[in-house]
Amino acid sequence: MKPRQKRMALIVGGLITLGVSTALVMNALNSNIAFFFSPTEAAAGKAPQNKAFRIGGMVKEGSIRRDNLTVHFTITDTAKEVPVSYTGILPDLFKEGKGAVAQGRINPDGTFAATEVLAKHDENYMPPEAQYALDEASKASTKTK
């Protein structure tokens, strides 16, 4: 093999290796992405049915029920509500009337099966996505009145 052919084979091999490694990294990142949807968007069917996503808003007053380690509650953006079930230990700051974000999948019956629940960290904080969803829902509800 001539030196020119060796160089060309090395360049082609490097490009193939780079392409394969880029494809593997992109696949790994894509499988770990969880997009945010408000309860209004989830109720409208905009949320994926077969993929994990995040849903956030306020925990509805009086909606928390406990069955051993499973907790059932409702997330609302003041326009729509989504029932959530979570098996595990909730964060200490998780309370009714406070902001929360849950990650998981929506079941065929419309219940959101959460694998992770995040709560606000102080009295003034709400996840930006949840705050935006609440603001949009309140704008929509004032337009309809």
pLDDT digits (tens, 9 = 90+) for 61-115: 999 999 888 999 999 988 899 999 999 988 888 888 888 999 999 888 889 999 9
pLDDT at 120 exceeding the cut of 80: no
Instruction: Please give the pLDDT value at position 122.
Output: 56
Percent over 90 (pLDDT), the chain? 39
Residue 17 confidence (pLDDT) = 95
Where is the binding site for heme, in residues?
A: 121, 125
For the cut 90, the answer to whether the pLDDT of residue 134 exceeds it is: no
- pLDDT number for residue 144: 61
**Rounded to 5 degrees, what are φ and ψ at 123?**
-70, -20
Residue 8 backbone phi and psi in degrees, to 5 = -65, -40
Decide: helix, strand or coil at residue 83.
Answer: strand
Q: Pick the more confident residue, 46 or 141.
A: 46
What's the pLDDT at 65? 94
Which residues are part of a known binding site?
A: 121, 125
Q: How far apart are CA 89 and CA 106, in angstroms?
A: 20
